């Protein structure tokens, strides 16, 4: 019985490399990413607001990306804001869509207050650092400023695919 188990282990050990993927996808070949994370911002008339950001990027070339993001935030006392926006990102000190970046954003700024919806134009700049965690995952601390908000800081975690 022990010989059969030993022979099976040896057979399986030599057979596993036959199932290895020789054409493994590298981080450089991944064209898209999606990320989500918390944000602390000034989307309030007084004091601060807490929010969440969702972002989708499509890589162009070696140093640029386009995409969309949406931020939702609330000051927990009657004001909620949703910011859907298009983005253009430039990785200026990095390679393979990682490292330091600058991002321009333009979109809508929808304020929900006292059963009213106030639509405004939103434009902003974001700066941050994409830190890869292997070929697939990353974290991304960032800061942003623009109109009509004052600032926002946060961190996102994401997946490249």
Over residues 43-56, the pLDDT tens digits come to 887 889 999 999 99
**110 in a structural domain:** yes
Rounded Cα distance between 138 and 15, Å, is 34
Average pLDDT over residues 7-30: 57
For residue 108, give the nearest of 96, 121, 126 by alpha carbon: 121
- What CATH number has the domain bearing residue 139? 2.40.160.20
Q: Is residue 134 part of a domain?
A: yes
- Does residue 148 sit within a domain? yes
Residue 19 within any structural domain of the chain: no
Tally of structural domains, the chain? 1
pLDDT band at 15 (very low <50, low <70, confident <90, very high): low
Tell whether 53 is covered by a domain: yes
pLDDT at position 114: 87
Domain that holds residue 150: 28-160
CA distances from 154 to 39, 91, 126, 127, 141 (A): 4, 18, 11, 11, 6
d(CA 11, CA 47): 67
Does some domain include residue 43? yes
Residue 11 in domain: no
In-domain check, residue 122: yes
């Amino acid at each position: 019985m022990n010989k059969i188990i030993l022979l099976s282990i040896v057979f399986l050990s030599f057979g596993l490399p036959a199932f290895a993927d020789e054409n493994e996808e590298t981080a450089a070949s991944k064209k898209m990413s999606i990320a989500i994370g918390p944000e602390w911002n000034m989307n309030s008339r007084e004091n601060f607001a807490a929010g969440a950001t969702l972002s989708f990027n499509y890589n162009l070339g070696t140093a640029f990306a386009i995409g969309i993001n949406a931020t939702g935030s609330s000051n927990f006392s009657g004001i909620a804001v949703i910011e859907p926006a298009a983005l253009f990102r430039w990785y200026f000190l990095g390679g393979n869509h990682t490292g330091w970046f600058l991002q321009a954003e333009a979109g809508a700024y929808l304020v929900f207050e006292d059963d009213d919806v106030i639509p405004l134009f939103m434009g902003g700049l974001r700066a941050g650092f994409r830190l890869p965690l292997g070929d697939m995952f990353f974290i991304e601390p960032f800061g942003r400023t623009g109109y009509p908000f004052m600032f926002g800081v946060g961190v996102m975690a994401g997946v490249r695919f």
